[in-house]
Structure 1
């Protein structure tokens, strides 16, 4: 991604990012924050200009036209940093870190949807970019080893993995770490927005193995060299939640906790974010305030199909068959009720309850089969997971059926 840097991305990095060599080549100006860049981006839209124009012939005029927001001297000094962008990219790339700016097509759409003008102008990450930009189910909560909170993380992490939905969290101890651990254990995908500099993960063999496997991604709105004490946990929680299609808040019992503060910000300042809470039935004044802001309780899911539809919406309806054209070859359909030669007639089911359940199962399988990219193996796995969740079959038997009941084409 870093090898195809656009002029707009180069300008955004110059205006907003700290570089690895800042200690050796300090800038005369402080880089723009996310909120400051949001103001500047809005001004550029009004002027029908782009960030790259700060590096071209229109630069002098743009400095003057934006002087009511930021001083001309600050914008000039920041623009001059564009010559150092390539060197910074080489350092980050050598550590396996990629960079995306708000002008890149691969930049996560949900960050812009949920955070609007405050979406980070630049994000750094490792692992699969597709995981980061693909949405998912975010789990947030205070750092706590409370068993009930961890149980919620484990349960929803497994549901997400079985539903091919990415788990997103900062990874701190408690429900967040449990959800990520459960997702990866069940061969699912996870995206972590750590409250530590990405440099900390560069030399960790176990993390590198997971990142290289394509099942884990890490991402941060902070440059990789940022000291840990300069990273805002509230900002990190907000970014993690905003990367998801929706988010679950666990153990939100303190108005001083970073997850609670991030949830309040998403509900109050930005709106439009689907946030849910786990109801522990214990008195919780802090949670009551978020409920007043329209945070909803997380429902109990009947299985992976129910969970998938909750997070991403129901699958599209099957396309109607194309109309027959004159002269078009068409296989002669069998007569109603006709059977293949030698086939045994199916056993007739007369129990009305069984008929209703069979009809519901047929509808679910039809929806799964119609889902784009859903293979026969994935359909079988999902149906088996549903039956196990409902207690209809033993989990061991389900695994055996899954392994031997569907052969992938060679």
Structure 2
């Protein structure tokens, strides 16, 4: 049986067995972010909500507007008033009443080799909590070697539509970062993502695929299954294992590729779409060095635009080619690289109490 805190997070944030419009809608990232902070400030743990007496007490407090003042001051979210209004007592109760559906889902996921991490677990990527703070996913799902989530990596992103020169460039970059001791992080999609991951695995390197959906489908595919069993591949998703691919989900998952990387290579980008969106978000947020490939002449318009820069960007994109990749990684990463600090198993949700804690290394039990 999984811990009570994790059970409640699953019940509040996930769908089980596909979409049913009659069910209450699970919490969004922002909704759970606020609810977790509010719970902590009211001295509740998520697992307390499985107790009949405690859930009644919690809902009575939730319906008291005065209990929300501190939480609303502590957490900064766009559209916070509407977010709070959408979390009704009825909705909470309906979500928590899905215990049987959760049990059936857990049985299926366990049979498929799926593991589940929440924010209090040591294997949960600390980069998510550090950079996303309250908006780090309450739950992540995966298959394969979860230890790879803490292995140093270079990200690869790019178009689904690729030319032979793009494939060759991707394979060349992967060979170089393999020699330097980095694994590959990518998105698992056709094109640049899949090319990078398969190139790493073919050279006995490791890879992590951050998926936007279809975790069960991906993990059962022959080209991935062998490597999952061998321990040199992990597939990660912030959505339930049965969740289907959607363009919106693909956009959302881009940030996690960057956050798990120490630098990210854009092989080919258009001026719109998922690759462009993820790269521009990283430029604005300043998460990791952004390396733009110049293997094509003339360069792709999206690549050139990224190199020109964006208004208000947090970091400047850098040109990368086959000759300077090693030097760029050494300059941007090696001198400043430090291993992730091990997390105490008792640590949990991002705290709202101070700026230091909001960096992600102070956690509560919400």
1:303-362 Cα deviation digits (max 9, x unpaired)? 86974674454678xxxxxxxxxxxxxxxxxxxxxxxxxxxxxxxxxxxxxxxxxxxxxx
- Is 1:240 matched with 2:254? no
Please name the residue that 1:257 is paired with: 273
Selected match of 2:318 from 297, 317, 332 = 297
CA–CA distance in 2 between the matches of 1:134 and 1:13? 27
Q: What's the CA shift string for 1:38-82, capped at 9, x where partnerless? A: 122222333343222222343223324444621111112112224
Residue of structure 2 in register with 1:375 after alignment: none
Q: Which runs of 5+ in 1 are unaligned?
A: 317-410
Between 1 and 2, higher relative CO (CA 8 Å, sep ≥ 6) is seen in 2
Partner of 1:386: none
Q: Distance in 2 between matches of 1:200 and 1:297?
A: 36
CA distance in 2, matches of 1:59, 1:209: 45
- One of 114, 128, 146 as aligned partner of 1:129: 146
Point out the structure with max Rg over C-alpha: 1
One of 56, 61, 75 as aligned partner of 1:60: 56
The structure with the greater share of residues assigned to strand is: 2
Distance 1:37 1:43 in 2: 10
Equivalences for residues 110-129 of structure 1 within 5 A: 110-129=127-146
With normalisation by structure 2, the TM-score equals 0.73
* Helix, strand or coil at the partner of 1:99: strand
In structure 2, the residue matched to 1:45 is 40
> Given the alignment, which residue of 8, 14, 36 partners 2:5?
8
Displacement of 1:124 in angstroms is 1.4
- Report what 1:352 is aligned to: none
Shift of 1:274: 1.0
2:119 equivalent in structure 1: 102
Deviates more, 1:60-69 or 1:244-253: 60-69
Q: Is 1:225 equivalent to 2:222 in the alignment?
A: no
CA distance in 2, matches of 1:163, 1:236: 26
SS of the equivalent of 1:164 reads: coil
SS of match in other structure, 2:98: helix
Secondary structure in 2 aligned to 1:116?
A: helix
Query: Residues 298 and 7 of structure 1: is their aligned pair in 2 closer, same or farther, counting only changes over 3 Å?
Result: farther
Q: How does 1:2-401 map to 2 (within 5 A)?
A: 5-20=2-17, 28-56=23-51, 57-67=53-63, 69=84, 70-229=87-246, 232-254=249-271, 256-268=272-284, 271-280=285-294, 282=299, 284=302, 286-287=305-306, 288-290=308-310, 293=313, 294-298=315-319, 307=329, 310-311=332-333, 313=335
| 1:245–1:44 Cα change, 3 Å | farther
C-alpha distance in structure 2 between counterparts of 1:203 and 1:247, whole Å: 27
Gap change, CA 1:245 and 1:59, over 3 Å in 2: farther
Aligned to 1:362: none
SS in 2 for 1:29: coil
Task: Give the distance between the partners of 2:158 and 2:311, measured in 1 at CA.
Answer: 15
Residue 120 of structure 2 aligns to a residue whose secondary structure is: coil
* Distance in 2 separating the partners of 1:260 and 1:306: 21
**Shift in Å, 1:14:** 0.8
Indicate the SS of the match to 2:177.
Answer: helix
* 1:222-268 Cα deviation digits (max 9, x unpaired): 112123347621012222222223322232331x2112112333444
Offset, 1:8: 1.0
* Mapped partners of 2:197, 2:18: distance in 1: 34
Q: Structure 2: how far apart are the matches of 1:41 and 1:179?
A: 37
Deviations 1:81-124 (A, max 9, x none): 24543332111011111111223222111222233222222211
The answer to whether the Cα contact below 8 Å between 1:8 and 1:51 also exists between their aligned partners in 2 is yes
Instruction: Classify the secondary structure of the residue corresponding to 2:156.
Output: strand
Query: How does the TM-score come out when normalised to structure 1?
Result: 0.66
